[in-house]
Chain A
Amino acid sequence: MKSNFILKSLQAILCLIVLGLTGCSIGPAVQPWEKETLARPEMTFEGDPLDSKYTEHIYSSKEAASGGSGVGGGGCGCN
C-alpha cells in the first residue's frame, strides 16, 4: 500500500516536472501576454488566506487527516 502510494505520487510529480522542463504543456507554452486570466485571484491556489486557515482548521479538528497544501503552522489543543 505504502510503496504503491509513493510510486504513484512520484510518477505524477515526475510527469509534471518533465512537462515543465520541456515546456511541453497541453498546447504551446503560454506566453506572458496571455496570462491575464491566470492572474485573477480565483485562478491562484492561495485563495483567501484567512478563510482557508479557518476552514482547514475546522476540518483538521474534526477529522484525522490534515495538511497537503504547504508547510508550517502550529498545532492546538483541538487535535
Chain B
Amino acid sequence: MKSITYPSTNVVGAALFAAAIALPASQTAFAEAVPESSIVSFKYLNYQDSQPGQERVGVNAYSIMGMVPIAGKWSISTTYTNDSVSGASPDAHSTVVSGASKMTENRQAVDLSVTRYLPKGSVTLGSSYSTEHDYVSKSYSAQESITTEDKNTTFTFGGSYTTDTINPTIDKASFYDRKTYSGMIGVTQVLTKEDIVQVNLGYASGKGDYNDHYKLFDLRPDKRESKTFMTRWNHHFDRRDGTARLSYRYYTDSFGINAHTFGMEYVQPLPHEWTVTPLFRFYSQTAATFYLPTSDPLATLPSYYSLDQRLSAFGATSIGVKVEKKIGKEWLVDARFESYEQRPEWSISGGGDKGLLPFYARSIQVGLTRHF
C-alpha cells in the first residue's frame, strides 16, 4: 500500500491517451444481399472538445472507403483512415505523469473485409490494423449470417480476436500487451412491411494491460469481461414517408460499470432529393469500483485505482442533425453536426462525482459518396 497525495484539480491532463478517432473494421450484424454497385466514399471529420473556459482535444480526420462486388457472389471492402489529434485530455482529476500539457498524435488505420454471399446468408472475414507512435492494434474477425426461407429472419454469429501493444513515450523501453476475444449472436426480424427489429448479445474477454501510462495513480485490473445487450427498431411512417430509428444498449463489465444508451433518429426525405435527420442520444453509466472520486481522498491506495473521469459515474446527451443531398443516381453529399455534453449529475443511477467539470464536444462531418 502506497500513500497517496491528491493532485490539484486543475492540473492539465495531457496525454496521448486522448481522443484519437480510430476506424475499426467492425462488422455490423445482419449482412444484406449482394451489393448492386461499387461504392467509393470519402468523409472528413472535425472534432473539438472543451471544458468551461478551456479547449481540450481537437481532431481532424479523413477516411476513404471502397466496396466492390465481385461475380455476384463476393464483395471486398476496405477503409483507410488518417487522423491528427492535438490538445490536452479533460481537466481536473486527470493528471499527466510527464507534466506536458499539450500533445499531438497522428494515427493511421486500415481495414479489409471479404464477404461471400450464399443463397441463405453470408460469411464475412475481416481484419484491421491501426498504428500510432506508441500504440499498435491488430484485429481479426469472422461473421456468419443465416436467413430463413422467407428472408424475414436473419441469425448472426460472430467472433473476433484483437491484440493491442502499448509502448509509452515516457517509458520507451517497456511494451505492454492486451489480448481480447469477443463473440456475438443476434437475430434480425422483419415484423411488418414498415417494421424491422434486431437483438444482439455480445461478450468480450480481455487480458493484459488496461492502465493509462500517462496518468498518475492509475492501476487497473489486468482482466476485463464485458457483456452487451442491444436492440434496435426501425419504423417507417407511410403518411410522412419518414423513418424512426430507435436503439437501446445495456452494457455491464467486470470493472463494475453498468451503462444504458438510448438512441433516436428520424430520417425525413424532402423534395429535390434532400433528406434531413435529427438525432438524439442519451447515455448513463455507473462508476468503476476502483474509481477514486475527487471528494473522498484516501490515505492509502486500494489494490486498484484510477482518477480517469471516464470511469466515474456520469450521464451524457447528444443532439445533432444530418443533411443529405442526392445528385443524380450516382452521387450523395452529406453533412452532420453533433453537440455532446457530459455531466456527473446526469447519471441516472446517481453517484456522480460533483468535483468533475462538465465536458462538451462538438463534431462536424462532411462526406461524398459515389456509386458506380
Contacts and interface: CB of A to CB of B under 8 A. Distances in A.
Given A9-B201, A49-B65, A62-B359, A69 B26 contact: yes
Nearest to A72: B141
A78 B212 CA distance: 10
Interface in B1-50: 16-30, 32, 41, 43, 45, 47, 49
Interface string A42-79: 11111011111111111101111111111111111111
B148 A20 contact: yes
Contacts of B316: 62-63
A69 B29 contact: yes
B292 interface: no
A11 B349 CA distance: 25
Contact of B27 (A13, A70, A74): A70
Contact of B26 (A30, A42, A53): A53
Contacts of A79: 17
Name the interface size band of chain A.
35 or more
A43 B185 contact: no
> What is the interface of chain B mostly: helix, strand, loop, or mixed?
strand
A42 B244 CA distance: 9
B182 interface: yes
Contacts of A43: 196, 234, 236, 243
B143 A70 contact: yes
Contacts of A45: 28-30, 188, 196, 198, 232, 234
Contacts of B26: 53, 56, 69-73
Given A12-B199, A16-B199, A19-B153, A37 B261 contact: no
B138 A74 contact: yes
Interface of B: 16-30, 32, 41, 43, 45, 47, 49, 61, 63, 65, 79, 105, 107, 109, 111, 126, 128-130, 132, 134-135, 137-141, 143, 148, 150-153, 155, 158-160, 162, 164, 166, 178, 180, 182-202, 204, 226-232, 234, 236, 238, 243, 245, 249-253, 255, 257-259, 261, 267, 275, 277, 283, 285, 288, 310-311, 316, 322, 334, 336, 338, 340, 342, 359, 361, 363, 365, 367
The 8 closest A-B pairs by CB, nearest first: A73-B24, A20-B153, A72-B141, A74-B137, A65-B251, A71-B158, A73-B26, A68-B230
Interface of A: 1-2, 5-6, 8-9, 12-13, 16-17, 19-21, 23, 25-27, 29-32, 34-35, 37-38, 40, 42-46, 48-59, 61-79
Given A48-B334, A73-B160, 9 more contacts: A20-B148, A51-B365, A53-B63, A62-B361, A63-B259, A68-B251, A74-B164, A75-B24, A77-B166
